[in-house]
Amino acid sequence: MYILAAIAVVIGILICLANWYAFIVTASGSRHVSVAPLIGAASLFLGLRGFPATESWAWLSPLADWGTLSVLIAIPQLYRQAQETSPRTLLHSLVSEGKGRRCEIRLFKSGKFTARVRYDSALLFSRSGHGHVERGFLGSDGSPRTMESYWGGGCCSWDSLDALDLTRDAV
């Protein structure tokens, strides 16, 4: 049993170190490195619980792992964003269908809006041939805007919300 606990501690420490390394590299601005949340802290927690001497300190494992700590720090903001764009705060929903796409703009009480474009068939958006099925926009000023997305500098527009005929959905 102690061997499994030791292996879990080693794996947890390695993942925690890798997450802190990712934080330092990303914070330095040289490049972005993604973290692995929950895995390092969970492994470290289980490993520390396996030893009687460290069992009482196992609760500190989320603080030792930057990946898990960043998730814990972000939870209040994620909750607030989910509440601001929840169905119960929806004021208006405007929909347009045609030209092989469905456009929906949703206005919320918080002053935010979301715009979602769904294509009936995948729309090519790069020279590599990758297809684009859905595109979304989020605004914070409360007013819908026409947005265009481009592939590369000076290339033609592949997504345009021009000539929308919006109809109001029942909310």
Are 53 and 9 in the same domain?
A: yes
Are 46 and 118 in the same domain?
A: no
Are 112 and 135 in the same domain?
A: yes
The dihedral sign for the CA sequence 123, 126, 130, 135: negative
Range of the domain at 27: 2-83
Are 52 and 96 in the same domain?
A: no
* Residue 95 CB neighbour total at 10 angstroms: 16
Are 14 and 42 in the same domain?
A: yes
Strands of the 101-108 sheet, one edge to the other: 131-139, 113-124, 101-108, 90-98, 167-168
pLDDT tens digit sequence for 66-122: 999 999 999 999 999 888 888 899 988 888 887 777 888 888 888 888 888 777 665
| pTM greater than 0.85 (yes/no) | no
Last-in-domain residue among 28, 51, 83: 83
Tell me the β-bridge partners of 97.
102
How many alpha carbons fall within 13 Å on the CB side of residue 19? Answer: 23
Are 151 and 92 in the same domain?
A: yes
Tell me the β-bridge partners of 137.
115
pLDDT at position 94, please? 86
- Report which secondary-structure segment, H or E, holds 154: none
Last-in-domain residue among 83, 102, 122: 83
Are 26 and 71 in the same domain?
A: yes
Number of domains in the chain: 2
Last-in-domain residue among 33, 64, 83: 83
Are 94 and 108 in the same domain?
A: yes
Are 70 and 96 in the same domain?
A: no
Tell me the β-bridge partners of 58.
none
pLDDT tens digit sequence for 86-97: 889 998 888 888
Are 79 and 91 in the same domain?
A: no
Average pLDDT over all residues of the chain: 78
Residues with Cβ within 8 Å of 129's Cβ and at least 6 positions away in sequence, in order, are: none
